[in-house]
Homo-oligomer: A and B are copies of this chain.
Amino acid sequence: MAAEQDPEGRAAARPLLTDLYQATMALGYWRAGRARDAAEFELFFRRCPFGGAFTLAAGLRDCVRFLRAFRLRDADVQFLASVLPPDTDPAFFEHLRALDCSEVTVRALPEGSLAFPGVPLLQVSGPLLVVQLLETPLLCLVSYASLVATNAARLRLIAGPEKRLLEMGLRRAQGPDGGLTASTYSYLGGFDSSSNVLAGQLRGVPVAGTLAHSFVTSFSGSEVPPDPMLVPAAGEGPGVDLAAKAQVWLEHVCAHLGLGVQEPHPGERAAFVAYALAFPRAFQGLLDSYSVWRSGLPNFLAVALALGELGYRAVGVRLDSGDLLQQAQEIRKVFRAASAQFQVPWLESVPIAVSNNIDEEALARLAQELVAVGGQPRMKLTEDPEKQTLPGSKAAFRLLGSDGSLLMDVLQLAEEPAPQAGQELRVWPPGAQEPCTVRPAQVEPLLRLCLQQGQLCEPLPSLAESRALAQLSLSQLSPEHRRLRSPAQYQVVLSERLQALVNSLRAGPSP
């Protein structure tokens, strides 16, 4: 697996990836003499997506990359000048040319940690004008990444820790980098790998894939490979004609299954042999190009048993249509019987992978039976990040019980002292008429200083480290909050002082 690397500046969103009104407002602020006013905005969401009670925070690495590279080039400023009023003061454009994030400070939930409604994922502070320009790109980078990571985490929870989950949604993604983002953050959220090669190259996501129906159907069976010989796995002994050996095995297999030896499609078998010649240690059969039972399965068994004679073990089969669960169960029975019949123990446990529109419901049925599943994560943009409505600059803490489980998150004013472990704390649940009392066994500050005056405060974790944090975080969540359907809502409460400030603002008309 390649190390994660900066993809030559490409993954950094460009400064003009922003809504025009951010630029018009920038001019408005500048004209009002407020360009350098101190400002802060918080990025949070109001509801968790997919009807769940948790969200994974993700996208921070892309935000940091974007902020550190943020600089309007001449061409950018010229373009803005072309869409702003022609009599705009040239000094405004000089101001834009000099902008960077050297005065911007960012606090953030670490990538892969749990985020709950109302708790900021990002706090961005700095001069008003530059902070305004950053809002749209940061929203764009965080919203989708968190959504995809959360979706992946839910599928991982359904599948359990052992099943292999492969993301393969590229062909339906929102354009090239839509796919890159989805693959990256599906991995962060708990998938094992992606079909997207670019995500492997640029982000270090493990990649996986074998063959498609088009490969199988492109063979007629009359092809003559230039070199049909395969050397045994041990590397010793003469090469063997794999196609010929598979043909011998086919007769045994068909006799065992009660099929005529002419029934399995010769083109499919030729495709399997071609693939096995190229990948003798990673042969997977795609079973449903023709008939699973009369063609795909016997052809797979013939080639897999031929490979097995040479010391190679097939890595599995894949189903891409029909009733996946029922077929998988029947295929397992066939493998067991063939394993006994041919005295080949490993055949019994050959992995069965399934794909094709696997959503949470389908996965829940499949997870009991199968070793590997792949498919396009279903995504629905239901979260709604909006700007701060609670007043003032805030701090956020997570309270844990003595068993390490999460109790609640507390929002308070930035200047308040942090809650102390073992000490009683009075807090206000949302909408409550009275405060309640909690005594946390542990207290974790949630927002970490990430960029200070444009400087990175600590190295970013690798994608794999963030992925591990995501799984750790989920394990700390109690089952009633982790439940995917009708979960209990995790509480985000306000400190007494923050609640008092909210009440005072509500009481009187603010002007």
Chain A interface (Cβ < 8 Å from any Cβ of B): 1-2, 10, 13-14, 16-25, 27-34, 37, 39, 41, 62, 75-76, 79-80, 82-83, 85, 88, 128, 132, 135-137, 139-141, 143-145, 168, 170-182, 195-198, 200-201, 207-215, 218-219, 221, 223-227, 262, 265-267, 270-271, 274-275, 277-279, 281-282, 381, 385, 387, 510-511
* A75, A144, A197, most chain B CB atoms within 10 A: A197
Q: Are B31 and A85 in contact (CB under 8 A)?
A: no
* A139, A175, A277, most chain B CB atoms within 10 A: A175
Cα–Cα distance between A41 and B171 once the two chains are bound (Å): 15
Provide the main secondary structure of the chain A interface. helix
Q: Given A31-B277, A32-B277, A33-B224, answer yes or no on A140-B171 (Cβ-Cβ < 8 Å).
A: yes
Q: Given A171-B385, A175-B180, A175-B181, answer yes or no on A511-B221 (Cβ-Cβ < 8 Å).
A: yes
Q: Given A17-B196, A279-B28, answer yes or no on A387-B214 (Cβ-Cβ < 8 Å).
A: yes
Q: Are B132 and A214 in contact (CB under 8 A)?
A: yes
Q: Are B173 and A144 in contact (CB under 8 A)?
A: yes
Question: For residue A168, which residue of chain B has the nearest CB?
Answer: B19
Copies of this chain, tallied across the complex: 2
Q: Are B274 and A32 in contact (CB under 8 A)?
A: yes
Can you show 19 pairs from A to B with CB atoms below 8 A apart?
A16-B200, A18-B196, A20-B195, A20-B208, A23-B209, A29-B215, A31-B278, A62-B175, A83-B197, A83-B207, A85-B281, A140-B170, A144-B172, A144-B174, A144-B175, A174-B174, A174-B178, A175-B178, A178-B181
Q: Are B13 and A176 in contact (CB under 8 A)?
A: yes
Q: Are A19 and B83 in contact (CB under 8 A)?
A: no
Question: For residue A195, which residue of chain B has the nearest CB?
Answer: B19
Cα–Cα distance between A387 and B200 once the two chains are bound (Å): 26
Q: Are B387 and A213 in contact (CB under 8 A)?
A: yes
Question: For residue A282, which residue of chain B has the nearest CB?
Answer: B85
Shortest CB-to-CB span from A211 to chain B, Å, is 5
A sample of 8 more A-B contacts (CB under 8 A), given A17-B170, A32-B219, A41-B214, is A17-B198, A19-B171, A25-B212, A30-B278, A32-B270, A145-B175, A176-B181, A221-B511
Q: Are B211 and A21 in contact (CB under 8 A)?
A: yes
